[in-house]
Chain A
């Protein structure tokens, strides 16, 4: 999504890089009622309601917005935490997951750029929280694309997790009968 490192961008203290659905926006908070997004000035007015929702009028258009409780930070790559702040915002009933950087987090990111990650290893993660019903492969086993790796049960549905590409099972982190969280590591696959 964001290939080029952000370290060359110099941000003001009240300036942020916000990535939403793969779109990067540079947001300057000029004052309490004015923000500049990618060079375009937007006048806005916020009014908080007691029940939690906030009414936003931006450039004359009306929105219902809410900043949602912060999502748990997720490891970006194996072992390397993501310095961006994950903030979920509800706008007119749609959740937007934003990755927000300020100049401090950009600095941290530029320092954290480590050696190239072994792109041939693929981590299979749980696409949702659930229960491991069974594991259909063994460590060391060669697998083909589309082959079933394991079965995850959530809300009474059994979902077969399949290999996206051919390779060999390097390591299995879970056993059948275990409950897993969303995004938890399940297997490591060496891609062919």
Chain B
């Protein structure tokens, strides 16, 4: 296969990840071409790119999920390759195939690998064949709710229903008992169908409150497959990660090697090329089970970058251009400790529901040990059309203690006004004894988090807010501080007099 050098890349995404990829392009001397919907015309990813092509529309379906429009944009901009980012079409094998057929490189795994590993059912089957441990459950997608009853009865409740095609908690439901099954099955099916265009579900026994640990894999097209260590992602709400760290506080060198081998074996067996992540769950006895493969770049990839020093996006681009991995497994080291906090436009005090509006205040953290991957600017609207991730704060330290201290300091500098965010929640996590000890699992939020724990800035901040609010009200009604009643009556009489004077 002839390798045309990659000089121009279309980034089929938006928000912080588009900005991240644009930055890698520019560092590599590659022309970055952004795409944008109508509502994203002035978004940060457009402003950071070299070139930009309008997709039109507002909803994802009209823009970032529209294969025809994206391919048209790629042709128009005469790019060499397309980077899908994460989310949207990043795990869509048909899109990857269409990109390649149109003569562009798809910066990601080959469509065949997306199909075999991206399909959870297929991937589980393969893992079992390769001797990688898996959780008991269905190997084939469920035919109907009736079969779900039967299998759940056999493995025992509680069970988990999951979309065969998806990720990110969509199309996923915990079912505690038989009576919950009909409604859970219907909701998970319809959510999966809406989000991924594929309503197939599978079922597995729920391992209660496991840890979620994943292994980063990097593979080139010359047969070299490496793992870059693990990421601990157990702080989750609604099955979605919020705080991630690397290395995991519970993984030792031996377990890391075992999990890494399992991940590499799976990737190699599927002819995997480019960056991918193999997710595992780890039970209280430190048994690990294969969960799924994410055939794309992960949101939390920066923690791996900070501890390994490897720029994953740059590697993705190099690999897509036919380049070889330069490192060998023995040379990959996790140096120090990194932690990431995801800043979502969500209200942690109100069940993490999306919070929309204008970012009236938006001041990012700066300084030593901190990296911010951000997609917004002060004054931007946060709307309902897209994923509510605003930014990621990533800090590094020689020790876990140091990176946590840097994170707390950074989050205190991150000021968002006008839209609620997960910052107070992250601050809660970083101050919690369990988290500080590294002794936490995916049950952390349910077990320890209550909204009452938030907004404990103390009386001072509240008093400051009260004074500011009172001053604002005074300004609206034309009262100056220090105005007492007598003075006012006098003044209003004068004002009436003056008004008559003016009218006359």
Contacts and interface: CB of A to CB of B under 8 A. Distances in A.
Interface in B351-406: 351, 353-356, 358, 360-361, 363, 378, 384, 386-388
Given A37-B466, A63-B464, A102-B473, A13 B479 contact: yes
A87 B469 contact: yes
Given A37-B463, A94-B461, A67 B356 contact: no
Interface stretch (A28-36, A111-119, A163-171): A28-36
Contacts of B472: 67, 87, 89, 100
Contacts of B467: 27, 29, 35, 37, 42, 44, 58
Given A92-B412, A155-B388, A158-B194, A63 B461 contact: yes
A123 interface: no
For the complex, would chain B's binding face be called helix, strand, loop or mixed by DSSP majority? mixed
Given A98-B469, A100-B473, A68 B360 contact: yes
B443 interface: no
Contacts of B416: 90, 93, 95
B462 interface: yes
Interface string B60-85: 10000000000000000000000000
A51 B183 CA distance: 50
B187 A31 contact: no
10 contacts: A16-B469, A16-B473, A21-B455, A42-B467, A68-B417, A93-B363, A129-B354, A154-B354, A156-B60, A157-B170
Interface stretch (B33-41, B293-301, B431-439, B482-490): B482-490
A87 B476 CA distance: 11
Interface of A: 12-14, 16, 18, 20-21, 23, 25, 27, 29-32, 35, 37, 42, 44, 51-53, 56, 58-59, 61, 63-69, 85, 87-96, 98, 100, 102, 104, 127-130, 133, 148, 151, 153-160, 182
B77 to A, nearest CB: 27
Contacts of B356: 128-129, 182
Contacts of A16: 469-470, 473-474
Nearest to B413: A93
B464 A29 contact: no
B361 A90 contact: yes
B465 A96 contact: yes
B360 A69 contact: yes
A155 B460 contact: no
A64 B414 CA distance: 11
Nearest to B191: A158
A104 B201 CA distance: 59
Given A94-B457, A96-B461, 13 more contacts: A18-B466, A20-B469, A29-B481, A68-B360, A68-B361, A68-B417, A89-B469, A90-B416, A91-B464, A93-B363, A93-B416, A130-B384, A155-B384
Interface stretch (B8-16, B129-137, B330-338, B418-426): B418-426
A30 B481 CA distance: 6
Contacts of B238: 157
Nearest to B349: A21
Interface residues of B, number: 61
Contacts, number: 198
Nearest to A103: B485
Contacts of A53: 361, 363, 415
Contacts of A32: 480-482
B329 interface: no
A17 B455 CA distance: 21
B384 A92 contact: no
B502 interface: no
A38 to B, nearest CB: 9
Contact of A155 (B354, B418, B481): B354
B128 interface: no
Interface in B17-73: 60
A189 B216 CA distance: 50
B187 A160 contact: yes
B195 interface: yes
A52 B360 contact: yes
A151 B187 contact: yes
B222 interface: no
Nearest to A101: B473
B423 A29 contact: no
B465 to A, nearest CB: 4
Contact of B463 (A25, A95, A127, A153): A25
Given A69-B358, A155-B354, A92 B476 contact: no
B190 interface: yes
Interface in B296-342: none
B190 A158 contact: yes
Contacts of A27: 466-467, 469-470
Nearest to B467: A35
B471 interface: yes
Contacts of B480: 14, 32
B121 to A, nearest CB: 22
B236 to A, nearest CB: 14
